[in-house]
Structure 1
């Protein structure tokens, strides 16, 4: 619909050429062929034509280039169908989330009213096959993560936990019966999921030091322990809980339904990042789970790692979105902010900051695109995902720092839409594996020696 509207606008502008001009033009070019070509243009090409047509006659005016963080046009690799999905997500974020993002971040509350609108985008489990999922290439999972984070990293995190970690655990580790029960409703966002792995006393070393335990007792599993930093857990309908079997010492996964006796949550307050995300501490006290709610294909931490490998790639894309949002907002600011009688974007030192930001952003985007290509080809490894997470989260920190710097004191105010990115970049830097842990995963792969202790 949006593309059709833009085509109409182009035609309308072309009609403004008077008859004599049109007659002369028709002697030189095939107008019917031009109209056919216009109908085949993509969003970006139409924008360029609109800009050219609307700006004719403005001689002497300094026309500024558009603000676009995709400097190498990587999104041109997308098909028209994929591009349409990208634009739907972008419009949703700009129209529905941008106006409320700062307010909810400041209040540390979640805008539950957006969930039905988000469900209409049909993007949950975008790369999964069956169960109502779109079954598109993994690159689209990345594109969606980028578009969400470009406006609000908190909403991107909420979505990543639900669609990636929670749905992904069921998709990769659940039985067919469990998939049929949960995935269709989660895909429609009728049910929201959470993912409980990290604990109060152990984060990166959870694979070998998990303190939450499970034991079989009279055909039921009894869970005890705590989980921390669990996104969406404060209101989720189902939470994936990982626990160590007291008998076999193997890690197993469980589907904990909302309201299960012995399962309680406490919202984590006073965060400096991702304030809209409702993180919680989960306490499990003699919590009894039926065997049918044990993830049937999760029998060791290797199975947990399959989920993390898949979603870690998404976090790298999320870092790109965070950096892009900071860069584009900072660039917009420098074009409008005037000092000494002219826009600060015309100053050499400001341009140096902007180019450094853009260089990092282009490198990150190129890397994650290749990462998703490997994922679509079935070649993705732990070290591939870890390297992208390390590099992109580090470079995002650098980008948001430059963005804050070119904005001076205004850079710390929410109203200028960069302060959130500065704070939220710190969360991206730490979750889904710290820099140190992901570095050691890559180091082990390239040297053949494990430096883990």
Structure 2
């Protein structure tokens, strides 16, 4: 009885709300008695669905989940201070870099105006102790690299060369006098550094095949040869140059100042990836360097490898950032882009691509997080860094490919912020050790056999 009364009461409220003028006009277009008869046959569930549809899905816009590539909430494992720094770097990248990045990427130019702003973050040389450096964890160094690459891998590479390869060479292998001369200015980005190892004909074979030579003459060294793909080279104040000593055939490191006679650099043009990075072709022709500018603790390629081991972990984090930026932009796009009357994010095939992307991304994130924990414990080995570089750069390729796919033709346009990640992933895949070389490093560790030539 009570249920019947409720239905009558509800019907009365509906009847009172009817606009009979509108109803009259509607009856001219449709057979109202027929429509009402059909509605009367609906059960409660069907009627509720009809009302929801007529009400536009409940009368308010559906609240969607936040877009966040950190699906396992790894950031919640950070302490309050580290989390604040992460968000500070993210805000900087989104405010200062995101609005200008496509323009500079397209022009293949570097936005020099960002350097003083970068310095204000006080994150250069983040893991080093002394010389004005913050002395934070390797985990934070990795997270910073990820946050940068999440917006732009070129800017992350510029920072990685400065803070990791260039400063790291001096910090790990320089004398105390060299550290005091260079590191404070580099930490404040008043001095820009570059790292010259790769050569036009020597990439993977750098350990034993450098063609750039060094010959000692009294208190000086004479350098001859070329270096290629050297990031920051066109505007760096100091270049860390690796050369083979003609007397003992060992690899040694030298700090070459930009105005040194015999040193010249030419910008590499027509790159399809990391276009903001100013890569240079360095030529050394009877370039004379004082013994005081030789890295005093760099006496073989094993010493060079110490720097590469430390920075290779950062490149793995950069790959994660590249993948995360592509995933988050693609997810945002699919929720806004409509086809067949609804967002394409509601389609099964699109959701499958998104989940595959997130699966790869989450696996990568958890791997590099553990990698940095190992590094902070002082237990990092070459094979640890190499495995992360192999896996993350490979999976990043898959993520950016799927991101471009769900965006259709728009995926190749810079304005949708995925095309850059697709291109830049190719450079990350190759530099700081190719997949093949890093695979052989891991293979040697797990089998006990070296497959290197």
TM-score past 0.5 threshold: yes
Deviation at 1:434? 0.1
Counterpart of 1:191 in structure 2 is: 191
Counterpart of 2:252 in structure 1 is: 252
Counterpart mapping for 1:5-20 below 5 A: none
Counterpart of 2:338 in structure 1 is: 338
Deviation at 1:60? 5.1
* Alignment deviations for residues 13-67 of structure 1 (CA, whole Å, 9 cap, x no partner): xxxxxxxxxxxxxxxxxxxxxxxxxxxxxxxxxxxxxxxxxxxxx9754210000
* Alignment deviations for residues 406-445 of structure 1 (CA, whole Å, 9 cap, x no partner): 0000000000000000000000000000000000000000
Residue 154 (1) aligns with residue 157 (2): no
Residue 353 (1) aligns with residue 349 (2): no
Counterpart of 1:387 in structure 2 is: 387
Residue 272 (1) aligns with residue 272 (2): yes
Q: Distance in 1 between matches of 2:364 and 2:411?
A: 23
Counterpart of 2:365 in structure 1 is: 365
Counterpart mapping for 1:26-37 below 5 A: none
Other structure's SS at 1:120 match: helix
Q: Distance in 1 between matches of 2:154 and 2:60?
A: 43
* Alignment deviations for residues 359-402 of structure 1 (CA, whole Å, 9 cap, x no partner): 00000000000000000000000000000000000000000000
Counterpart of 1:223 in structure 2 is: 223
Counterpart of 2:177 in structure 1 is: 177
Other structure's SS at 1:289 match: strand
Deviation at 1:218? 2.4
Mark the runs of 5 or more structure 1 residues left unpaired by the alignment: 1-57
Other structure's SS at 1:112 match: coil
Counterpart of 1:66 in structure 2 is: 66
Q: Distance in 1 between matches of 2:61 and 2:123?
A: 42
Q: Distance in 1 between matches of 2:362 and 2:125?
A: 27
Counterpart of 1:287 in structure 2 is: 287
Superposed CA RMSD in Å reads 0.7
Q: Distance in 1 between matches of 2:121 and 2:214?
A: 38
Q: Distance in 1 between matches of 2:134 and 2:72?
A: 28
Q: Distance in 1 between matches of 2:280 and 2:76?
A: 40
Q: Distance in 2 between matches of 1:88 and 1:359?
A: 27
Residue 323 (1) aligns with residue 323 (2): yes
Deviation at 1:232? 0.1
Other structure's SS at 2:367 match: helix
Q: Distance in 1 between matches of 2:287 and 2:321?
A: 39
Q: Distance in 2 between matches of 1:62 and 1:275?
A: 39
Q: Distance in 2 between matches of 1:185 and 1:105?
A: 27
Other structure's SS at 2:380 match: coil
Other structure's SS at 1:198 match: coil
Deviation at 1:88? 1.0
TM-score by length of 1: 0.87
* Alignment deviations for residues 207-235 of structure 1 (CA, whole Å, 9 cap, x no partner): 11100000111210000000000000000
Counterpart of 2:18 in structure 1 is: none
Q: Distance in 2 between matches of 1:252 and 1:365?
A: 35
Q: Distance in 2 between matches of 1:77 and 1:192?
A: 33
* Alignment deviations for residues 332-363 of structure 1 (CA, whole Å, 9 cap, x no partner): 00000000010000000000000000000000
Other structure's SS at 2:247 match: coil
Other structure's SS at 2:366 match: helix
Deviation at 1:299? 0.4
* Alignment deviations for residues 258-306 of structure 1 (CA, whole Å, 9 cap, x no partner): 1110000000000000000000000000000001000000000000000
The 4+ residue runs of structure 1 with deviation greater than 3 A are: 58-61
Counterpart of 1:104 in structure 2 is: 104
Deviation at 1:331? 0.2
Counterpart mapping for 1:50-89 below 5 A: 61-89=61-89
Q: Distance in 2 between matches of 1:431 and 1:80?
A: 34
Other structure's SS at 1:190 match: coil
Q: Distance in 2 between matches of 1:203 and 1:410?
A: 35
* 1:366–1:59 distance in 2 versus 1, CA, 3 Å: farther
Q: Distance in 2 between matches of 1:354 and 1:430?
A: 25
Other structure's SS at 2:113 match: helix
Other structure's SS at 1:124 match: coil
Q: Distance in 1 between matches of 2:59 and 2:378?
A: 53
Q: Distance in 1 between matches of 2:75 and 2:169?
A: 29
